Amino acid sequence: MNRCLLAINAGSATLKFRAFSLDGQTLLARGMVDRFGSREALFSLADANGQKLAERGLADAAHDTALAAALNGLADQGLEARALAHRVVHGGNRFRQPARVDADTRSALDDYIALAPLHQPVSLAVIDAFSRIDPQLPQIACFDTAFHATQPTVATRFPLRHCPPLA
């Protein structure tokens, strides 16, 4: 069994994932669960070149079912996830770099649901589901907002200076 790193991008209707070598340099497989969380969910898996390896409908709408399908589909190809990296939209002003998901991190991310209501709850549901499936599997949250946290002040305020006054 080849060990891999699994990158997860959970959207409101699609779960995309990529399996990489442990050094992160080589793409090993890519997959998706389309219509994620619905009764019409469809799992697909392809190799690094896009050659289809598997495709099947899922039995129910549960996040756990979709994530188990992803892990099992990878295992069928001889790949075992050793760590997960999740795209999380909002890290607020607390998370400016990737963070290991532990109880404190997970709890803090709830505070940012209102800032990204379409994406944050889905990302957190996926993190929680993986925690149920394999509590020992390390999970890392990588934040979209980390990019903006490192911008110079002038870059974050520029658009405000050029907006017309509000009526």
Q: Please list the residues that pair with 47 across neighbouring strands.
A: 29
Active site residue 144: yes
Three-class DSSP category at 154: helix
Six token digits for residue 139:
């999970």
Sequence-ordered strand ranges (E) for 58-162: 79-88, 99-100, 139-143
Sequence-ordered strand ranges (E) for the chain: 2-10, 14-20, 27-34, 42-47, 52-57, 79-88, 99-100, 139-143
Six token digits for residue 102:
């532990």
Q: Are strands 79-88 and 139-143 parallel, antiparallel or unpaired?
A: parallel
From 76, 110, 111, 144, the catalytic residue: 144
Instruction: Report the alpha-carbon distance of residue 106 to residue 35 in Å, rounded.
Output: 25
Residues catalogued as catalytic: 144
